[in-house]
Amino acid sequence: MNEEHDKSKLATESKQRQDKSVSNTTRFMRKKERSAESNKILDDTWAELTQDWQAQPTAKTDIAALVKRTRRRTYGAKLCFILNILATLSILIAFVYGIYQGEWGEPVNIYLGFGGLFSIAFIYFEMKVRVAAWSKLSDSPEKAIDNAISGCESSMKYMRITQISLLPFLPLVNWFVYSLAQTSTKAALPAYLFANGFMLVVLIVVDYLYRKRKKERQQLLKIKSA
């Protein structure tokens, strides 16, 4: 009887030890799984933070560079506008002086008179384009792309005005060279080549800048719509 009791007791203790071992193993595996899952969450979170940290300075740098470029071009456009006004005033002053003082001669005075009128028309249209673009400018970084697009459109319009303004100047310049050649003993061909070559170079440069600004505008529109 005692022997059977001892065997039963031993069997019960053995089973309890096995259950305890299984329980400990289960808890260890669960703990390990929770640790692995926690580490995975931490790794994913860190990777996301790292990606944001790496991307953020680049975006800031791009926006800062865009704002700086737009501001620099705006200053350049204002300087160009002022110089065009000064050039127009100089032409008009020279024309008035030549008329009232009888200086320069008829071809020069006619050239200055028509040149002054063309310059006034050019300044008028340039002012409309520039003022319309400058009134839209904002110092907010959120408006950086819109400001850059507006600047590109303003430059494109200015280039077109410049190209159109060459049309009346072309016959005027050639007439001026022809008139001077009538009273000069020098050959007129070099003067013709220089005058027309200069206007051709201006036309090529203006067309290049127009295409460049147009390409920039298209790229900015894609960035804005993205």
Structure-block tokens of residue 47: 């990777």
* Res 15: pLDDT: 52
Other residues' Cβ atoms within 10 Å of the Cβ of residue 160: 15
Torsion angle of the four alpha carbons 186, 192, 198, 204, in this order, in degrees rounded to the nearest 10: -160
pLDDT in tens, 36-46: 555 555 455 54
Q: What is the mean pLDDT of the chain?
A: 81
Q: How far apart are CA 163 and CA 211, in angstroms?
A: 13
pLDDT at 217 exceeding the cut of 80: yes
* Res 113: pLDDT: 95
Of the listed ranges 47-56, 126-135, 195-204, the one predicted with least confidence: 47-56
pLDDT in tens, 172-203: 999 999 998 888 888 889 999 999 999 999 99
Report the alpha-carbon angle 30-31-33, nearest 5.
65
**Pair 201, 175: CB distance under 8 Å:** no
Q: How far apart are CA 79 and CA 148, in angstroms?
A: 18
Question: Dmax over Cα atoms in the chain, in whole Å?
Answer: 150
135 phi, psi to nearest 5 deg: -70, -20
The per-residue b/e assignment along 118-151, b for 16 or more CB within 10 angstroms, e otherwise, is bbeebbeebeebbeebeeebeeeeebbbbbbbbb
